[in-house]
Structure 1
Amino acid sequence: MAKVSWKSEWLAQIGVAVGYALLYVAIHPLSTSHWPIHAGVRLACLLLLPYRFWPALLIGEAVPNFYEVYPCLDSLGRTWVIVKSIPPLLPIMPIVWWCRERMPPFPAKHFVDIKALLVCVLLCSVGGMIYSTTAYAVAIPTHARSVSSVPIASICFLLGPYLAILTVVPWAVMAKLDYRTGHFKEQVRQIVSSRLFLDTVALLIPSILILAWLKHVVKEPLDEIASLTMFIPMAWLTLRHGWRAAAVSGTIAITCICLPIPLEDSLDPKSYATMAFLVIGVTSLFVLGARISAQLMQEEKERQSALNVQRFARQTMQVGEQRMRQTSQALEYLAGTLHVTNSRLLEQMRRIVPNIESHAFYKQVMAAQTQVYQLAESMHPVAWRERGLPAALNDTVARALDEAGVAYRCEITGRGFTRLEPSVLTATYRVVCEAIVYVTSRLACNRVRLVLRGGETHGKRWVVFRVEGVLDDTGVANAVYFSDERQRLATKLGASALELPEMRDHVSIFDGVLHMRTPKGKLQLTALLHDVPQEAQRPATAPAPLRLWVK
């Protein structure tokens, strides 16, 4: 087993070295002195690959690098060839190692610290500038260059690799964060259907291409205005989607500006100014995008927390309703048992006391039995259990209001009640009862009208109801006469006599709203409740702590 593992490791090392060498050669035609794509690929490999593959990367870069510089032996001399034969990967390795150990750009598996990543990019660019400037100053003969050319070359060695790194590394980072083994096609479909992709294709790319064309067609100073205008769509996209939008828009802008720059060794000051402007602008967009992504993650975390609280409240309500139903059934069973027992006991006592019905003991026994039945009915109506919500609203509520001297009318329309979640039906019945108790608490209310409708819109089910109480001063006397029954109305309906804010909180658990209107002579309470979506019933995974990390 160890022998097979040893062979597999060597094959992996050879594969990494050969693959990196072929990639180095393949991107050579695209790499220029002011935009060396090699620098971006180099840093991406050092950041993403484990340390054990770094020697293979060094070998994979040393061979093609020597192959590129050796033909310059006659023109630039032996010293230049010897210095440039040192792989540029070598001086960058300690910097990347320090960043990965002390300031890791990837603090978690699917998170990136943008601040640490930008620091690593800057340090590697500075390290590459020192290496290239030293090689330029030492290896190039003095008669072949001027003294002032060294600082100018240093600026080019800093800005060029920095832009190349910002072009390549963010894409490698996004691939690392998003890639899931075995879900490639699904991820491609998600990317193509994402809002970022649509905004990039429809708005960003056309606008940047038009502005880049204007920059190279129009004369000064309009060309500089075109460069500045490029950052407007880039900033807009970054504000909407975060640092990923900065990576996409930055790559497109850098490519459109750097590719047309002439390939001569000495760049004009205008090209240096353009490159410096790109460096500052794209880096600023990355910083802004990181902050926007952190805010978006915080909002998503708060949304998930709210969904978890809402889901827990629904589950608690449903569990409480199930317990009330079980208790109601137990009380009904107890009331039935009492009825049978009392009937036998009273039958035996009737032989001794013929007029037992007129005695107080008999009345107390029958009252206790009736109270047990009423308690069971108030906790969970029999009509609800046996025939559903419409029966409970038509029978149970109507009987309680009739005993309180209040006229009642119920209208139920629509469809989809059978497909609503039990928790929604429970909340609907309880809120209706609370609304009826609230309306009838006015002495002038002598009539109640309930209109209930269920429906479905765009695949989402909902239920809406309106409780309307008719206020008539002539009915105050009747309300006073039935005052005792009105006081017991909340108990009969199993209501808690909630106020409007409490009822609104109750409805908001199901993404609903409740409104109160007071037209002339009426008091109306209207509420809308939405069905529970399937994804909301599943527990949401807790997001990782934010700190300075973004996805």
Structure 2
Amino acid sequence: MLLHWWKNGIQLKLRVRIYPDGLLIAVLYALAFWAARQVSVDQFHIGAGIRVAALLLCPPRLWPYLLIGEYAYFTHLRYPMIETHGLAWFVLGSAFLMPAVMLVISLHRKAMERTTDVWILSVAAAAAMVVTLLNVGMSQLLWPIPPSVPLPSRAARYLLGDFIGILTAVPFALLWMRRNTGTHWIASHRLPTVACLTAMLIPGILATQLPPEYVTAKTALHLSMTLPAILLTRLHGWWGAAVSLPVLSASIGFSITSTGLPASFDPDMYSTQQFFVVIEISLLALGSTISHYYHRYKQRDFDEEQSANLAKTSQMAGETDLRQRALDINRIGDGIDTYLSETADWLKRKGHHEIASNLIRTSSLYSRKFREQASMVYPTALEHVGLYLALQVGGISEAWSTTDRMAQPRLIGDPCRLTVALQLAAYRALTEAVALLLQQESGQIRVSSRCGRVGNREAILVVVALLDRQQVLSETTCALAIRRLTGRTLAYDGTVQCRRNRIRMVLMDATDAQRLVEDTSGLHATLSTVS
């Protein structure tokens, strides 16, 4: 029965269902607000941060319970003040604070969905201004005797205190909301992170323990906390700023000297607070920007990797189909050779030796041409002897020799260290580049290739160049080369470049889980110059 009541709540006659977990939230919120009040002053009001943090943590359906918790707290706090400050202030001064901040949060809902977290500053500023306006305005209008502190000074203290209080508590709420994201930030740079936190906490704790007269020492300790805060933000982006802000704000807030009276004010720390507010805003903006661009570039790298994988898969599917066709063509050729051989044997048995010899010579010639054409569909020899021998003994070599424009190739390195898939991609890119130069340019052509390593990955550099160094590739040729060859090279983390009289291509074997990111010129320099 108790479990049923806890899950389904209490149904009132007004058709309003009150859930016990909501009441628990109201009680916890009231206690948190009360505890925050014990360590707060006008110029450092953590309760303002507790209010905003609770609204961010709880979905809108639970906001009425937060409102109940705040009303309960204000009833406990301000009921004894009715005789001195009036019933109107007791009611109106407590009724509109939480609804006003609710409105601020609601208006920022769309901004919260964006990739940057600068909206926190907007929420903090708007909530601080609205609450300050209500508090100062209600006390000025409804108190029988207006406060002794001048209105502008009081408003400035409240505004600064609420703003810093929000920046102290809200980052913890956001870290909790995003606890399942951004773990890569936390896992990386562990030692520097611990060092930065230690370098912040030690001066912060020392500053809170110094006597009030050591104002200069406190300020120096607080300033020493800014450098590790900046480094932490640099390491972890928004996450670093979200950790640094509460530490900075809490250290300054707990260093404020309080007299225990309602209008307690520390002018020395007030000046320090104004300076550090600028630092905290800058840290949060810097961290948000770092995280924004980090995730942006990470998404771009992921998209590029996915595109490369799709292109590689598509190429391999096409090569598989071509391989099967080449095998079928070879089987047909084997069948034709067998039939012609049997026919030649039959002619010999019938005494037609000359006809049989001519048939054998003719069938051998066309069988070789037939297999050369089959090898141009798919270079099966590449799987057995590697890329370089496939270029020299396959049909493509015969096709190039008939043009009388191909110089002796320069092939360096061991292509068999590369995967068959990468060798096939290099073969297709190389033959297509040669065909392009044969069609679009004049003069002799040389193919050069070098297999080597780029970092910890096997790679191949292919250069298809005109022998005449003074001849420059036309713009049409360069555009066609980039358009036709880029797809093949990108699938293997490679590049295509047209430089003066040559087309240069780099393809890398994906043997490591982590991609190697290098500048294009660095890739060619690493593999050395091939001309």
The secondary structure found in structure 2 opposite 1:277 is helix
Inter-CA distance 85–381: structure 2 relative to 1 (3 Å threshold): same
The answer to whether structure 1 residue 392 and structure 2 residue 417 are counterparts is no
Q: Distance in 2 between matches of 1:4 and 1:268?
A: 48
Aligned to 1:156: 157
Match of residue 80 from structure 1: 85
**Matched positions, count:** 475
Alignment match, 1:206: 199
Q: TM-score, normalised by structure 2?
A: 0.69
Query: For residues 83 and 197 of structure 2, what CA distance do their matches in structure 1 show?
Result: 48
Alpha-carbon distance between aligned partners in 2 of 1:102 and 1:444, rounded to the nearest angstrom: 67
Q: Give the corresponding residue for 1:98.
A: 103
Q: Deviations over 1:326-375 (max 9, x none)?
A: 2211211121122233334555666596522565x776554332222112
**Structure 1 equivalent of residue 305 of structure 2:** 307
Q: Once the 2 structures are TM-superposed, how far is the Cα of residue 202 of structure 1 from its aligned partner?
A: 1.5
| Residue of structure 2 equivalent to 1:530 | 509
Does residue 341 of structure 2 align to residue 343 of structure 1? yes
> Residue 75 of structure 2 is aligned with which of 58, 66, 70?
66
Question: Which residues in structure 2 correspond to 1:315-394 (within 5 Å)?
Answer: 315-346=313-344, 351=350, 354-357=353-356, 365-385=363-383, 387=384, 391-393=385-387
Unaligned runs of 5+ in 1: 181-186, 472-497, 517-522, 537-551
- Equivalent residue for 2:9? 7
TM-score w.r.t. length of structure 1: 0.67
- Residues 12-41 of structure 1: CA deviation (Å, up to 9, x unaligned): 222222332333344444333332222111
Task: Quote the Cα distance in structure 1 between the aligned partners of 2:82 and 2:34.
Answer: 23
Q: What are the superposed Cα offsets for residues 490-524 of structure 1, whole Å, 9 maximum, x if unpaired?
A: xxxxxxxx9899889855643458999xxxxxx9x
The whole-number CA distance in structure 1 between the counterparts of 2:128 and 2:482 is 63
Aligned-pair distance for 1:406? 9.7
Pair 1:443–1:52, CA change in 2 (3 A): closer
- What is the deviation of 1:166? 0.7
Measure the CA separation in 2 of the matches of 1:153 and 1:375.
91
SS at match of 2:255: coil
**In structure 2, C-alpha distance between the alignment counterparts of 1:77 and 1:289, rounded to whole Å:** 46
Higher relative contact order (CA 8 A, sep 6+): 1
Shift in Å, 1:139: 6.2
Q: CA deviation at 1:249?
A: 2.0
Do 1:105 and 1:117's aligned partners in 2 also have CA atoms closer than 8 Å? no
**1:354-404 CA distance string (max 9 Å, x none):** 522565x7765543322221122344344444x4xxx23575455459987
Match of 1:251 in 2: 246
Q: Percent identity?
A: 22
Residues 346/357 of structure 1: CA separation in 2 closer, same or farther (3 Å cut): closer
Take 2:55 and 2:482, find their aligned partners in 1: how far apart are those partners? 62
Cα-Cα RMSD: 5.1
**3-state SS, counterpart of residue 315 of structure 2:** helix
Contact 2:139 2:147 in 1 (8 A): no
Query: Structure 1 residues 511 and 141, CA, compared in 2 at 3 Å: closer, same or farther?
Result: same
C-alpha contact 1:328 1:376 (8 A) present in aligned 2 = yes
For structure 2, list consecutive stretches of 5 or more residues without a partner in the other structure. 11-17, 437-441, 468-479, 516-531
Whether 1:114 aligns to 2:109 is no
Q: Give the match for residue 55 of structure 1.
A: 64
Once residues 239 and 411 of structure 1 are traced to their aligned partners in structure 2, the CA distance between those partners, rounded to angstroms, is 45
- Which residue of the partner structure matches residue 130 of structure 1? 133
Matched position secondary structure for 2:109: coil
Q: 1:410 to 1:128 in 2, by over 3 A?
A: closer
Q: Deviations over 1:125-176 (max 9, x none)?
A: 122112322454356553x843x43332222221111111111112212321
| 2:14 matches 1:23 | no
Give the letter for the 1:165 counterpart.
Answer: I
Moved more, 391-400 or 163-172: 391-400
> Which residue in 2 is equivalent to 1:267?
265
Counting only pairs closer than 5 Å after superposition, residues 138-149 of structure 1 correspond to structure 2 as 142=145, 145-146=147-148, 148-149=149-150
CA distance in 2 between counterparts of 1:122 and 1:449 reads 65
Q: 1:450 to 1:253 in 2, by over 3 A?
A: closer
Change (3 A) 1:95 1:338: farther
Q: Which amino acid aligns with 1:531?
A: A
The answer to whether the 8 A contact 1:394-1:410 is kept is: yes
Residue by residue over 1:283-341, the C-alpha shift from the partner in whole angstroms, topping out at 9 and shown as x without a partner, is 24333433333333332233223223322332233223222212211211121122233
Deviates most, 120-129 or 84-93: 84-93
SS at match of 2:158: helix
Change in Cα spacing, 1:382 to 1:292, as seen in structure 2 (3 Å) is closer
Distance 1:339 1:87 in 2: 104
Residues 534 and 90 of structure 1, relative CA distance in 2, 3 Å threshold: farther
Are the counterparts in 2 of residues 513 and 529 from structure 1 also a CA contact under 8 Å? no
Equivalent residue, structure 2, for 1:39: 48
Aligned to 1:548: none
Match of 1:486 in 2: none
